A = this chain, B = another copy of it.
Amino acid sequence: MTTTKIKKSLHTELGHSTPDRITVRGRDLPSEILGHLNLGDMAFLELTGRIPTPQESVTFNAIVVTLVEHGITPSALAARLTYAGAPEALQAAVAAGLCGLGTVFVGSTEGAARMLYEAIPFGEKPARPLADMAKDIVADHRARKQIVPGLGHPLHKPIDPRTPRLFQIAEENGLSGHYVALMQAVQQEAERVSGKSLPINATGAIGAIAAEFGFPWKIIRGLGVMARAIGLAGHLLEEIDDPMAIEIWQRVEKEAGGPRQDWTR
């Protein structure tokens, strides 16, 4: 008998199995979930404990679908290079790709949502006009010399084409409220103050819509992580059929291993 002092019981609400039943979030997996829920709805159930309404389903699926695939990214390259060395462990190649979804890429959804929640705690009404809040948010970031999360894109100018579509879907499905409006007010203020075009990028739109759902900011990066796991599987399947990892490695090794050159002259 263990004598370990137990300080806390261990508990999960997520899933439970007996010999003849498998329950997920309180629902019988075979009869209530399989054949009834699509993968996005299942993710919603997993995260919230309830099945989305049709409006929530369309909107939630749209934000995660947005994050699945974005062409050749550092994350996709890391996964492909890993697979080239360890084809016995496809799971580790996906894992390697996910490790780079941090503060620079994808993780910025988290920053946008956190910024919005700090201005308007979830469940509360805005205490002041949104334009005033936006002024303070932008001024605060400028004072700290930080970029405002969710704004600007190196390629997609003057607008990120995903953003108006995501906001349209949210609007049509009753999921465009204070957070989307505040994100838009922040954008206008940031453009006014900087004099530059600063579109709301996809991570800003997703952060705002995720806040409308009330997802805690700490898990919002997870939406991108789960979506990109799908995209990375796609990249690995392509890598199996038409590899690029070894060619990239050999080109880089050849160039980088030699004497330093200045290509920029």
- In angstroms, Cα B222 to Cα A166, docked, is 28
Question: For residues 165 through 202 of chain A, which have their beta carbon under 8 Å from a beta carbon of chain B?
Answer: 165-166, 169
The answer to whether B46 touches A249 (Cβ under 8 A) is: no
- When the two chains form the complex, which single residue of B100, B261, B262 contacts A96, counting CB atoms closer than 8 Å? B100
Report if A8 contacts B (CB, 8 A). Answer: yes
Per DSSP, are chain A's interface residues mostly helix, strand or loop, or mixed?
A: helix
Count of A residues near B, CB < 8 Å? 132
Residue contact A249 to B91, C-beta cutoff 8 Å? no
* Residue A147 interfacial (CB < 8 Å): no
B-contact bits for A51-83, CB 8 A (1 contact / 0 none) = 000000110011011101111111101100111
Q: Looking at the complex, which one of B7, B225, B230 makes contact with A42 (CB distance below 8 Å)?
A: B230
Within the oligomer, what is the number of copies of this chain? 4
Query: Is A253 part of the contact surface with B, judged by Cβ < 8 Å?
Result: yes
Given A85-B101, A252-B10, the answer on whether A229 and B226 have CB atoms closer than 8 Å is: yes
A261:B92 contact, CB within 8 angstroms: no
For residues 224 through 257 of chain A, which have their beta carbon under 8 Å from a beta carbon of chain B?
A: 225-227, 229-231, 233-238, 240, 242, 244-257
- 11 additional A-B pairs beyond A10-B255, A14-B238, A17-B257, beta carbons within 8 Å, are A5-B254, A12-B235, A72-B249, A74-B84, A77-B248, A86-B104, A90-B222, A91-B221, A96-B99, A216-B237, A219-B236
Name 17 interchain pairs, CB-CB below 8 A, sorted by A. Answer: A2-B251, A4-B255, A9-B263, A11-B255, A11-B260, A12-B257, A14-B235, A25-B69, A31-B165, A38-B57, A43-B234, A46-B233, A72-B256, A77-B248, A94-B95, A223-B233, A248-B252
